[in-house]
Structure 1
């Protein structure tokens, strides 16, 4: 057998054995097994080049496929910054080519993902471009993975993340945060030696590795014994000396624990190659042993990148089929290239880099020119064309391709990459004659597109800076108007300088002629005036925007103006009139989905504020469906509508539905939008006494500088503290919220009521209580820019609660003040009505009206039972014990188990069955320490001193491990759908 074929066979045999990586593989399998069991996971595998990352992950993929797990593999490339979503497209392409892969069918049902496949039609530019298109794409990927994982677990590998584009990095972060109970495992590999201090992946890794979902694995160099074992499988010359007089033991020493380096050293010795000192030199030395034709083919392949299509390689090399095939057979037999479905790939990225770097400047330019011409003839990717044109110094073609690549990136939902392409075109502009003709656009328009892409990627600072520069060089009134309008819009989104924002918007209005542009400028100006609390002028400007929009045919500006008018009317006029304006804004789609979703959210919200919960539920349901149909479930207003939908269920008492929605609200939050959504889950978690509320609050504490998150999360933290008998901590949260809210914010009424609850529990009244009540009354009476015209029913109910809690703190709470609370919340706010009945029952008892108190107590207890509101139920149980009330349907004093939470009853049922804490934890999916805490609480509540006594009480009450509450113990995963 020829020596090169023998070497190849031995190497393939060695590759079948994984040496020195069993621990790392076990950790990866642990993440994969957990994902297959319903707990999504992420593994990030780092290590130096050649250390064995690909080999390790390849073994994982082989094992996964043998287990029937759907496997997706996507490869980043050095062109990553130019080609958005390259690993996603690579993985989907591989799945589409495999008829047995269910991902292919899932992709067919999602046109936004089909765009990433070869020949995929990007479709016409529409309202879902830039950031909105990216939100749609991210949502589609998440939805696709969830759909496939519902049938079979999924393993998705991102290789070489150090080359990933910004949009791919953002997608990885999004999936890591959003995947919770889906049977999906994500694995990413990256080179640690490539991560310089400012490498963009460093920040992503630091962010992700803080999450409990993420497992970090860094491959260490192999030890000498492991390396010796590996080399013994590679060569039958183990223990002898190579032809250069270097023993294999010397190879082990020189390799430094790097398997790829060791293999190349050994192969070089067997090929009679001089052993140079660096890996790059070594790789090139191996290339030099090839024939002239094979060496030339390898150099051509290196210009294409890590992979190259066979037909493209043949055309670029200029060789006939027979000599090309002979050269490729030689290269493949030496294990420099590997074969794939339709072409070849360098066995290791280091080899491609070494061969490419060794090309002469003229040779490199000539080959890039050849590839550019071939790709252009085949209709290749504009981003790839731009890369080759730049490298071949064809600046006019590079400018044209960069502009096309930017437009395509916008449509694909990759705004960061679009900005890079547009910026490159602008950099080339002055170096290219007739640039405008080549770009088929003016320079200012390209600059506007670049700024829009920067803003869509979240880089408002860069967008604003670019528009400021552009404004200084414009003399066209229409372009100057558009630039100022966009500047004002981005400053508003970024909460920038309000004076500059208003001045830019005003200038845009002054420069624009009667046109859709004037309508948009007026709508933006109205928005900025609203932010500045210039309510009168904002109303007049929005009304004019509405008039111009209708006259000039600008439906997006018309919808935006109607929304602004509705919000202003809500603050200063009639809620019914606000609802009418917002209803008009949702009659039809405007063509801008972001504005359409915003209109539907505000329409539903105003109905909710009016107490029209059923109407609000119908509107928000339609809005959520629109977001789902357009792939924008995870857009800003798609998210807003989901938490409003949750809030409506919370208010009307359908807590099971609310918890089902909250199952998608991640606990491990990392962005403001995620934190906002997560905050809402606390309403039911605190109301039901869920232990997960504490973990959620820990994650949310990083976002307490955000006003909305602070308002919701810290308000619920205050309630949690009050249920636990800690009014001082509750008051700390209340004070923190008051410090960030405007004095006219109606949310202040609820916060003041919570603070007064804490003062009353602490037995403190006086100046602080007076101040909180004064704040609540002022917020109820005053709105944006003047006296509040109308306060909604929920606001009026919370004001009644604040008044009643002030009286409770002062010791003057007669039943009448609490009855007013019950009546106020009786418009559909089920839980708050029950909480008010609890206080009313207390007040009636103090007034001596025992029968009426018993009646109110029963009604509140029935609601607490129906909702599963354990803290309220515990408080009512304690009140009933002290008053010697009986529960509905009982003839005696409260049952011994009445004070236990649902979880404590589950634990007690297993204690009664004789199970130890460890086994109870395994059955209930909680830690042994948590079981111990529950057992201690159970003993205290039952007034017993031993597990045996507690078990006796459980048996006496008919509580068993198979029927703790008359039905099978609920698994944690089923509780939300109970």
Structure 2
């Protein structure tokens, strides 16, 4: 399935060196599925062997192998070569009766010999003579462990009489002993054979193999269980992924490690393992079945106690299973070759027998030495059908996992316990409460949510557990991206938490976060925060007090209140926060996001660095994707766009495990594509974000997504559409009451109205914005207000408008927001060119004086910034403005095209012409047998090279 050979570089190099110096002998050994044939194919495809004849013979797994079948298979395909050059050695005729397909090209058969041994010897000589005639060549004989004894004898003969220009490669399983061949190859006259032993791939190589098959990046959460499941055997990896691809899209698989746990064993692999299992005697099969029930690494003491067999019988059975390739030795112990082999053997045991073996194993573990192995006991009692004992041990295992900070494992045990039947209400409620507390950090949201919902819907619960369950469910829903549903659940929990101040304070803190939901005014969030502070004081719980102060800092920060930075500084020095690394990490990451929302990039990067460090030290896995998201957002704001698109595609894709972060990732990706192209893809991304955000009621992605789409439509000369989206966003801004978030929305609407000739209608709106952000420490909002004011005053007071726009540029430059600064620089440059002389300087005696802040140099500065960060759509636009104002365009952007090459490749032109004719990306992919992503890449490249802004511009190609 994978087109690229993973690992095996040293082995391939050794084999290339051997066949490059014939005569050579190569033994490629390894267990079934390890990649012997794949390695040989890779060798035969290398350039040094391009002009060398290659013959391949395959041994078949037959009850009675045919004499010399792989050698004859290889030779019977040589008719074309023999027609051109017939062998003259008469002994070659001995092969004519065995090879009727090419007999006409061979000398006539010599008279038959009475001695069968002499006849066989003549056939051997004939085969060697024919190989010599066909040389130089490489002869490959595959799966020689299945060959007949005559083939083994021939290989020994060939090793002693090998022609000068013949290289022989033999593949065989290492578990099968072929001492005569090995001995003959070891004493060959030309030197001993090269022995190439293949071992399983390591975890990194399994990850590479899987990524090549799925065409997607593999997170560690999927790579680790895949490696454990397959034991690093390439064939098993490919079969597992082939099975998964039959039920899931390739891009969804990396985000679903759970599918590996319940994987149906691939049929081909099952057949191989069962064939080996059936080769064992009855005692060995019984002992191996018990070993599979016990686990991957069967313990001799447990096996003896469970099966009642003696040590000698157990040792013999394990040795027999190892010889059959079902077990292997690792760290001095017998272990199943891979998890799927253990699963197949386990499933071969009848159900009633398995349950009995699980119960026997559990009892043996209970009586064993050392600490009580609660996790293993839970597993065995569960499969033995002993519900009460299973639940007790599962809860104990969850406690153990929590004590080690492993919330994910704790949540998994609690989920299993809740899914058991015959539980009393008290037990179900107790387990559900514990699950609600652990699943938030355990990434078990998808499975935990329906359990909590079902419990709340079907049980009559007392107030305390009902309130806590609603709070837990609300938090889980929010983390799944269901902003409104989660908010409302937590809101409904408040009456039940009245006499539990610590929990009530935390619930109110969550409701105080302003970005969580639409249709809740900032004053309501502030009221929740005020009440949370009062409740925290009443609870006397210092942890709740810290949580509420963190929320207060975030609430102030999102409004651009300068007091937020003083509070954040105090909290970062607070020993109580430092003593709670998870709270500390979450706080820093939330503040970093808030700082990016208002345009404080430098502070955001400092907070991000602190949050990343604390989370790493605490091994806090839940925030791993949040760290990546905030890092990507900071890179976007700073103009570090190289390689950003695939990162955002992955963070916003189906493989992402933290749903609440995916919508922000898609927003960032859409905004990035709006600058880099293609415009149609950017529009699709942003429209999708808007649709999802409206459905789930998430206000933060909704406002900036509509604003980004409005800005994109303006660049496509759709001022009416831009005004519509900006107006819709403005409705949400007013409902939320946070004008810091709405400043860029106002600017987009003012721009759209200006294009439509209705700029005066925006005066009241700009005044409303000015009043809304008075005193705010928010560079993006301040710059947007200044720009909007500049647009309004430009026609009546050009100098005042120029000063306002220049002040906006300075604010953005000081904040480090390169792309926003470049946009403002471009606008200022265009204005100065349009209102001043050619090039924006002062004309003296027919020459233009290019001042440092002349329009020409400002446009050139914007162009260079766009070029450095890869904003290809903006490059095309600013070049057009420069041409319109007779401003020289510097190399390499002359003609409005960036430096990556001005000529379309034949494939790019083919794709571009189909797009110009109105074909969709999917239709183009089908016509040209390309992937949709490749088509998107070609269209983006064509737009960049041609200096076009959108797909519509490609229609010009049809006129040339």
| Fold conserved between structures, TM > 0.5 | yes
> Quick one: which of 435, 447, 451 aligns to 1:450?
435
The equivalent residue for 1:586 is 572
| 1:358-757 equivalence runs, <5 A | 359=350, 361=352, 363-376=353-366, 377=368, 382-408=374-400, 418-419=410-411, 421-425=413-417, 444-455=429-440, 456-459=443-446, 461-462=449-450, 464-465=452-453, 468=456, 472-474=460-462, 482-483=468-469, 485-486=471-472, 489-490=475-476, 494=482, 495-496=484-485, 501-508=490-497, 510-512=498-500, 516-517=502-503, 519-520=505-506, 523-524=509-510, 533=520, 539=526, 542-543=529-530, 545-546=532-533, 549=536, 554-569=541-556, 575-588=561-574, 589=577, 591-604=579-592, 614-632=602-620, 634-635=623-624, 637-639=626-628, 641-646=630-635, 648-649=637-638, 655=639, 657=640, 659=642, 664-666=647-649, 669-670=653-654, 671=656, 672=659, 673-677=661-665, 679-680=667-668, 687=675, 690-691=676-677, 702-707=688-693, 708-709=700-701, 711-712=703-704, 715-716=707-708, 718-720=710-712, 722-723=714-715, 734=726, 743=735, 744-746=737-739, 747-757=741-751
Q: How many residues align?
A: 685
Report how far residue 30 of structure 1 moved: 8.7
Q: Highest relative contact order (Cα 8 Å, sep 6+), 1 or 2?
A: 1
RMSD across aligned positions (CA): 5.7
CA, structure 1 residues 877+417, in 2 after alignment: closer, same or farther (shift >3 Å)? Answer: closer
Q: Is residue 2:281 matched to residue 1:290?
A: yes
Q: Is the 8 A contact 1:309 1:344 kept in 2?
A: no
CA, structure 1 residues 546+260, in 2 after alignment: closer, same or farther (shift >3 Å)? Answer: closer
| 1:33-112 equivalence runs, <5 A | 56=33
> Quick one: which of 222, 228, 250 aligns to 1:172?
222
Report how far residue 451 of structure 1 moved: 2.7
CA, structure 1 residues 619+669, in 2 after alignment: closer, same or farther (shift >3 Å)? Answer: same
Q: Is the 8 A contact 2:474 2:485 kept in 1?
A: no
Query: Take 1:721 and 1:765, find their aligned partners in 2: how far apart are those partners?
Result: 17
String of CA shifts for 1:843-883, please: whole Å, max 9, x gaps: 44554566657643144135325524465565555444444
> Quick one: which of 814, 818, 832 aligns to 2:798?
814
Q: Is the 8 A contact 1:669 1:699 kept in 2?
A: no
String of CA shifts for 1:135-171, please: whole Å, max 9, x gaps: xxxxxxxxxxxx997xx9964669xx9xxxxxx9993
* Unaligned 5+ runs, structure 2: 13-30, 45-201, 227-233, 257-262, 694-699, 843-849, 911-933, 949-960
| 1:945-964 equivalence runs, <5 A | none
> Quick one: which of 729, 737, 756 aligns to 1:764?
756
The equivalent residue for 2:780 is 794
Q: Is the 8 A contact 1:505 1:525 kept in 2?
A: no
The equivalent residue for 2:921 is none
The equivalent residue for 1:867 is 865
Query: Take 1:709 and 1:806, find their aligned partners in 2: how far apart are those partners?
Result: 28
Q: Is the 8 A contact 1:605 1:616 kept in 2?
A: yes
Query: What TM-score, normalized to structure 2?
Result: 0.57
The equivalent residue for 2:809 is 825
Larger Rg: 2
Q: Is the 8 A contact 2:322 2:328 kept in 1?
A: yes
Report how far residue 190 of structure 1 moved: 3.2
Q: Is the 8 A contact 1:700 1:713 kept in 2?
A: yes
* Unaligned 5+ runs, structure 1: 1-23, 37-53, 68-146, 162-167, 177-183, 196-200, 212-217, 222-256, 268-282, 437-441, 650-654, 886-892, 919-924, 939-978
Query: Take 1:833 and 1:169, find their aligned partners in 2: how far apart are those partners?
Result: 36
Q: Is the 8 A contact 2:689 2:702 kept in 1?
A: yes
Query: Take 1:208 and 1:399, find their aligned partners in 2: how far apart are those partners?
Result: 31
Report how far residue 745 of structure 1 moved: 4.7
Residue aligned with 2:811, SS: coil
The equivalent residue for 2:3 is 27
The equivalent residue for 2:55 is none
Query: Take 2:596 and 2:865, find their aligned partners in 1: how far apart are those partners?
Result: 20
Report how far residue 448 of structure 1 moved: 0.6
Query: Take 2:356 and 2:255, find their aligned partners in 1: how far apart are those partners?
Result: 47
Q: Is the 8 A contact 1:632 1:638 kept in 2?
A: no
Query: Take 2:357 and 2:782, find their aligned partners in 1: how far apart are those partners?
Result: 75
Residue aligned with 2:648, SS: coil
> Quick one: which of 331, 340, 343 aligns to 2:334?
343
Q: Is the 8 A contact 2:598 2:781 kept in 1?
A: no
Query: Take 1:192 and 1:825, find their aligned partners in 2: how far apart are those partners?
Result: 54
CA, structure 1 residues 872+526, in 2 after alignment: closer, same or farther (shift >3 Å)? Answer: closer
Q: Is the 8 A contact 2:290 2:303 kept in 1?
A: yes
CA, structure 1 residues 421+175, in 2 after alignment: closer, same or farther (shift >3 Å)? Answer: closer
Query: Take 1:63 and 1:852, find their aligned partners in 2: how far apart are those partners?
Result: 70
String of CA shifts for 1:639-662, please: whole Å, max 9, x gaps: 45424533552xxxxx3x454777
CA, structure 1 residues 883+937, in 2 after alignment: closer, same or farther (shift >3 Å)? Answer: closer
CA, structure 1 residues 697+597, in 2 after alignment: closer, same or farther (shift >3 Å)? Answer: farther
Report how far residue 569 of structure 1 moved: 4.2
Residue aligned with 2:691, SS: coil
Q: Is the 8 A contact 2:686 2:709 kept in 1?
A: no
Query: Take 2:601 and 2:823, find their aligned partners in 1: how far apart are those partners?
Result: 19
Report how far residue 263 of structure 1 moved: 10
Q: Is the 8 A contact 2:398 2:414 kept in 1?
A: yes
String of CA shifts for 1:457-487, please: whole Å, max 9, x gaps: 2236436426636984337x6x666456545
Query: Take 2:581 and 2:679, find their aligned partners in 1: how far apart are those partners?
Result: 34
